[in-house]
Structure 1
Amino acid sequence: MADRGRGAARGGRGGSNIKRPMGGPQAAQNADKPRREAILDLSKYVDERIRVKFTGGREVTGILKGYDQLLNLVLDDVTEELQLPHPHIRSLGLTVLRGPTITVLNPVDGSEEIANPFAAAEQ
């Protein structure tokens, strides 16, 4: 009576003794599919300073050290630019940024503000 619900034979927590094949038709289909590649090629921005904006409005800049196909980023020498309640900058150091939360990614060097060509000219 004390062993109730504890055996693998009764469907308890114990591991299953059923051996499943490692190959089969499903494995053959997966081998034929092309490997999924990253949407963006960030290799040219490694060791360059980039700016990252997140959902919710947070914004950081740092030196790109690594990334993966899900756009998770590793940045070094990261600074966060806070706007509220008053503008200031705080240092975060080495940081891992989750890809699903990133909305904008751009290099800091080589980008500059230009005049809006669609704005109405003042007279």
Structure 2
Amino acid sequence: MSGKKETVFDLAKFVDKGVQVKLNGGRRVIGTLKGYDPLLNLVLDEAIEFLRDPDDPLKTTDQTRPLGLIVCRGIAVMLVSPAEGTVEIPNPFVQPDRA
């Protein structure tokens, strides 16, 4: 067994392409992936944050604010996906309210 650890993620195919990043605490950011490291620290350029819903801080709205060049700490990254070609669907595991 070698002492070298390999990362599970292959983000090389996303470099210089648009990505969507979901972070701990419900924050969602999109931008152009400029770099990353084995700890999943990400550098995003032209980043835009989707603002949170005031009634439910874990949901985001369509309102945005520009952030520019940012570093997302790997410890806070929950999801990295392409910005184009993904669609958010309703959670199929949510139980309907029984009144």
TM class, shorter-chain normalised?
0.7 to 0.9
Match of 1:84 in 2: 53
Q: SS in structure 1 opposite 2:75?
A: helix
Query: In the alignment, is the contact (CA less than 8 A) between 2:27 and 2:52 conserved in 1?
Result: no
Tell me: higher relative CO, structure 1 or 2? Use CA pairs within 8 A at least 6 residues apart: 2
- Between structure 1 and structure 2, the one with the greater Rg is 1
Residues 1:97 and 2:72 are matched in the alignment: yes
Match of 1:111 in 2: 86
In 1, the alpha carbon distance for the partners of 2:90 and 2:78 equals 23
User: Cα RMSD (Å) of the superposition?
Assistant: 2.4
Match of 1:28 in 2: none
**TM-score, normalised to structure 1's length?**
0.62
94 and 33 in structure 1: CA distance in 2 versus 1, 3 angstrom threshold: same
Same amino acid, percent of matched pairs: 48
Aligned residue pairs, count: 88
Match of 1:47 in 2: 16
Query: In the alignment, is the contact (CA less than 8 A) between 1:38 and 1:68 conserved in 2?
Result: no
Relative to total residues, which structure has the larger strand share, 1 or 2? Answer: 2
Match of 1:68 in 2: 37
Q: SS in structure 2 opposite 1:39?
A: coil
Task: Name the amino acid aligned to 1:39.
Answer: V
Which residues of structure 2 form unaligned runs of 5+?
A: 56-60, 94-99
Which residues of structure 1 form unaligned runs of 5+?
A: 1-31, 119-123
Q: SS in structure 2 opposite 1:100?
A: helix
1:110 CA displacement: 1.9
**TM-score, normalised to structure 2's length?**
0.76
1:109 CA displacement: 1.4
